Amino acid sequence: MRMRGRVALVTGAGSGIGRATALRLAAEGARVACVDRDGDSAEDTARQVRGLGVDGLALTADVTDERACARLVETIVGRFGGVTAVVNAAGVRSDLDAAPPPAEWQRLLDVNLTGTYLMARAARAALIDAGGGTITNIASIYGVVGGSLSPAYAASKGGVVNLTRQLAVQWGPAVRVNCVCPGVIETPMTAALLSDPAWRETALRRYPLARFGRPEDVAAAILYLASDEASFVTGVALPVDGGYTAA
Ligand code: NAD
């Protein structure tokens, strides 16, 4: 019960890594606000959170909307009395396009990078008021090395990695800020890619652990970073990638 007494705000909680993280934090005792732009999926996760015996709240919001981020923090503080752990898992990927058009570039940066910043900024005062807290962002292996996804995705995730370091420097000691850099994880986001046997086979050769990740692999790393076990850890970009970036 490493998160007993804590209140977590998880964006992108309706699917994949965000959902697995909401459930893992709940299983460790946290009350969880499940935020997603898809309200039905957020409600579904919140129901599963409550099924674990802790309070779960679903909130519909788009993380690119500054006012919506502020409103949802207010709602969570009203309901749970504060916020102590923010997880920014809302994100989008683009097609495998080596030269995406400007509108696609902007869409990726808006959600993955600006959305992460807006949510962190909206929650900052509440984290400080709670006597300190954590922000854990989801970057990617493509935020630290080049790869086959689009330049827009890579740039947005590289931005998340250094945003994480910058906030760790400027928002400490009250707020610890870290990110995880997952390799390919089996979620709805990667379902189309992973259904291509040729792509799978080629990609797998680059994974020393010889498999793709599961959402639970990432949730476990996020739990560590959000818990007191990581109380001397801030500003890190932790690979959760089966060894991809070591190879
Ligand atoms: P997913 O598509 O399964 O889930 C993403 C969730 O975010 C969805 O529920 C979606 O509705 C929500 N969302 C998207 N845009 C939003 C917005 N503007 N506001 C609020 N909610 C929004 O994807 P996933 O694989 O779980 O990815 C989660 C995060 O992990 C993303 O940032 C992704 O880039 C990152 N990531 C994923 C992988 C992977 O292989 N799956 C690898 C590295 C990093």
26 three-state secondary structure: helix
Strand duo 31-36 + 56-60: pairing: parallel
User: Does residue 241 form part of some domain?
Assistant: no
Q: Give 95-120 as a DSSP string.
A: -S-SS--HHHHHHHIIIIIIHHHHHH
Ligand 1 centroid, distance to 79 Cα (angstroms): 26
The finding on whether 140 has its CB within 6 A of some atom of ligand 1 is yes
Looking at ligand 1, which residue's alpha carbon is closest to its atom 33?
Answer: 91
Whether 31 contacts 80, CB under 8 Å: yes
- Residue count (the chain): 247
The predicted-structure confidence for 35-84, as pLDDT tens digits, reads as follows 999 999 999 999 999 999 999 999 999 999 999 999 999 999 999 999 99
The predicted-structure confidence for 98-147, as pLDDT tens digits, reads as follows 999 999 999 999 999 999 999 999 999 999 999 999 999 999 999 999 98
Cα–chain-centroid distance for residue 106? 20
Q: What is the pLDDT of residue 72?
A: 97
**Helices 39-51 and 16-27: angle between axes, nearest 10 degrees:** 20
User: Does residue 2 form part of some domain?
Assistant: no
* Residue whose C-alpha is closest to residue 3's, from 83, 78, 57: 83
User: Does residue 243 form part of some domain?
Assistant: no
Q: Is the pLDDT of residue 94 over 90?
A: no
Whether 216 contacts 24, CB under 8 Å: yes
**What are phi and psi for residue 95, nearest 5 degrees?**
-65, 165
Cα–chain-centroid distance for residue 115? 11
Looking at ligand 1, which residue's alpha carbon is closest to its atom 12?
Answer: 12
Q: What is the pLDDT of residue 95?
A: 85
**Helices 215-226 and 16-27: angle between axes, nearest 10 degrees:** 50
Encoding tokens for residue 5?
A: 């007494």
Q: What is the pLDDT of residue 220?
A: 98
**What is the position in ligand 1's atom list of the atom closest to the CA of 38?**
11
Q: How far apart are CA 169 and CA 18, in angstroms?
A: 25
Q: Return the CATH number at 169.
A: 3.40.50.720
> 148: pLDDT confidence band, cut at 50, 70 and 90?
confident
**What are phi and psi for residue 112, nearest 5 degrees?**
-75, -40
Radius of gyration of the chain (CA): 17
User: Does residue 74 form part of some domain?
Assistant: yes
User: Does residue 1 form part of some domain?
Assistant: no
**Which 8-state DSSP code applies to residue 21?**
H
Encoding tokens for residue 236?
A: 């890190």
Catalytic residue from among 117, 142, 153, 244: 153
pTM of this prediction exceeds 0.95:
yes
Q: What's the per-residue H, E or C state across 70-90?
A: HHHHHHHHHHHCCCCEEEECC
User: Does residue 12 form part of some domain?
Assistant: yes
**What is the position in ligand 1's atom list of the atom closest to the CA of 88?**
32
User: Does residue 226 form part of some domain?
Assistant: yes
What is the total count of domains within the chain? 1
User: Does residue 166 form part of some domain?
Assistant: yes
The predicted-structure confidence for 162-189, as pLDDT tens digits, reads as follows 999 999 999 999 999 999 999 999 999 9
Q: What is the pLDDT of residue 113?
A: 98
Q: Is the pLDDT of residue 96 over 90?
A: no
> 149: pLDDT confidence band, cut at 50, 70 and 90?
confident
Q: Is 142 annotated as catalytic?
A: no
The finding on whether 15 has its CB within 6 A of some atom of ligand 1 is yes
**Which 8-state DSSP code applies to residue 8?**
E
**Mutation pick for ligand 1 pocket among 40, 157, 189, 204 (CB with most ligand atoms within 8 Å):** 189
176 is in which domain, residue-wise? 7-235
